[in-house]
Structure 1
């Protein structure tokens, strides 16, 4: 990240009199990349063979902090093109938002109030509708966050902490996939190289009430993981499952994953240094329509 420090008078319109005796700054960061992709027409029915995509994403953040500890920041996001999300949902993600979309955050004493119209994720599930405001902070060792969309009369929350070595996270919303109330709890416990985890959710659609238990174990450069899933209210453990192996050696990180449908994922990332990295990904999923092959280079600055 490159940072440009400005005098307090340079951002007086942004910072206001309260920050006149403090300091202000502007930072620029972002990423760019190019990829050769075959997604079997998932992004465009006319593109059933290999095609190129490129993108850039530029983030600009200006901040001001007063002597009394109150800080204000505003962020702008500009970009173009499409980035392949090869290690998550395998979809092309359009980059950049209108320069008029601004993320403003006011912080004091460990608490932050962020305002970003339709730009904040629902804390229970980021597919369950965008939120406009988020209040977050900590009460002792417990972290809390709350979001709301006043126009849509929806909200979500997240509470996290550690008790007796067990990391716990509780999330909830009044706007799940079915438009109703939902909550979930997830926990993990690390014992040296072994980490065990469990999670459950209670949603307004009983078919979405997943429960899971799993583990990950690290052996030098290898990490193996397995999760058994009980899908829905009437499912059984093992009806769905995920297994994975990850190998790390210097600049190379390679992983293989498989699930109950025999869908397989093979990903390799190589750090080229200087903010650049190369990747290759192959996803062979249930049915040909979801298969993905992608190779490319990304650069962060």
Structure 2
């Protein structure tokens, strides 16, 4: 309730400012989908509530945007995102909303609500680094400021409430997060830091149940440049809470219609990580071959698409990893025009590795027929 009242108060205040100036922008956008999926058990793997659609399902997301240019040159804006306005009895999801309030100028901005953490926004890794697990906002209430001076941009953020409102004290700032990015000629330098959470006065820990929050002190430094047609990035990350660090290098080089990307990360704990990706794109054909060794686990993926023409595109993929059954999918989409699309797919993931988000297209297990609309 506190969050709802705060959001409503801020929207009213912004509306007042807009009326005073007279330069008001209001927009409504959204997506809708209606589909059917025949997989009720996740290929004999137990499925938790909200993990997959069962039978007929629907979804409706609406985003309302409000903007006003103030007479001092600042831009006040607000957005309200109404999520999952579908049939909760069939898809297992809950209706909800997120909001963002902002006040910006050409060189600075302040954001409140459903916005990213500073380190999350800025950090650039060099491959699969175990120690760079900066928190990613997912339902938290975040306060973030940013400013740019010349070629240097800086962001700073705090968490005001967790995704379950377990710890919402109003004026308590949690997990300081800082991100800085600077360009010096052809060199980009990125630095990021976040601190661990503290306990509330009653000893309550911050809720990290959504899986996107890391309760740890983490520091990262990353440098990227281009040389001889190749994009090169070096990065170092340290999780001082866990006592681990990662040092990585990533190189991407175009070879005609193929872009080759390779990385190697030396890890202080566990095995080193390395991988190679070959991405081919020429005319209607796109194919990607990906190989990774992630902490000693080999992962291989081969995925591709073919633009048949007349709005029809075909997709297929095969993915495998150690100690797990192979996954695969075939799919086709048809552009119905005016933002509408028909999708038909079949995907198999017997060990529930991808949790109903199989392959690059995030396909559901089993057979799916879905019509989606953008408006």
TM-score range, shorter chain: 0.7 to 0.9
For 2:287, which of 254, 271, 275 is the aligned residue?
A: 254
Q: Contact between 2:248 and 2:265, CA under 8 Å: does it hold in 1?
A: yes
TM-score (norm 2): 0.60
| 1:120 correspondence with 2:153 | no
Aligned residue for 2:101?
Answer: 104
TM-score (norm 1): 0.73
Q: Equivalents in 2 of 1:180, 1:207: separation in Å?
A: 10
Q: Please identify which structure carries the higher strand content.
A: 1
Q: Equivalents in 2 of 1:277, 1:15: separation in Å?
A: 44
Aligned residues: 276
Q: Contact between 2:231 and 2:251, CA under 8 Å: does it hold in 1?
A: yes
Q: Contact between 1:56 and 1:95, CA under 8 Å: does it hold in 2?
A: no
Q: Contact between 2:107 and 2:149, CA under 8 Å: does it hold in 1?
A: no
For 2:145, which of 135, 150, 159 is the aligned residue?
A: 135
Aligned residue for 1:185?
Answer: 221
Q: Equivalents in 2 of 1:192, 1:36: separation in Å?
A: 49
Q: Equivalents in 1 of 2:308, 2:76: separation in Å?
A: 36
- CA-to-aligned-CA distance 1:63-113 (integer Å, 9 cap, x gap): 11123211111111122289xxxxxxxxxx9988634x4210011242111
1:251 is displaced (CA, Å) by: 5.6
Aligned residue for 2:177?
Answer: 156
For 2:65, which of 61, 81, 88 is the aligned residue?
A: 61
| CA root-mean-square deviation | 4.2
Q: Contact between 1:55 and 1:95, CA under 8 Å: does it hold in 2?
A: no
SS in 1 for 2:21: coil
278-287 vs 103-112, which moves further: 278-287
1:146 is displaced (CA, Å) by: 0.5
For 2:252, which of 210, 213, 216 is the aligned residue?
A: 216
| Alpha-carbon distance change, 115 to 256 in structure 1, aligned in 2, over 3 angstroms | same
Q: Equivalents in 2 of 1:56, 1:277: separation in Å?
A: 25
For 2:264, which of 225, 228, 240 is the aligned residue?
A: 228
Q: Contact between 2:50 and 2:92, CA under 8 Å: does it hold in 1?
A: no
For 1:174, which of 188, 195, 213 is the aligned residue?
A: 195
| 1:44 correspondence with 2:47 | yes
| Alpha-carbon distance change, 286 to 128 in structure 1, aligned in 2, over 3 angstroms | farther
Instruction: Identify unmatched segments of 5+ residues in structure 1.
Output: 1-10, 83-92
Aligned residue for 1:86?
Answer: none
Q: Equivalents in 1 of 2:313, 2:193: separation in Å?
A: 36
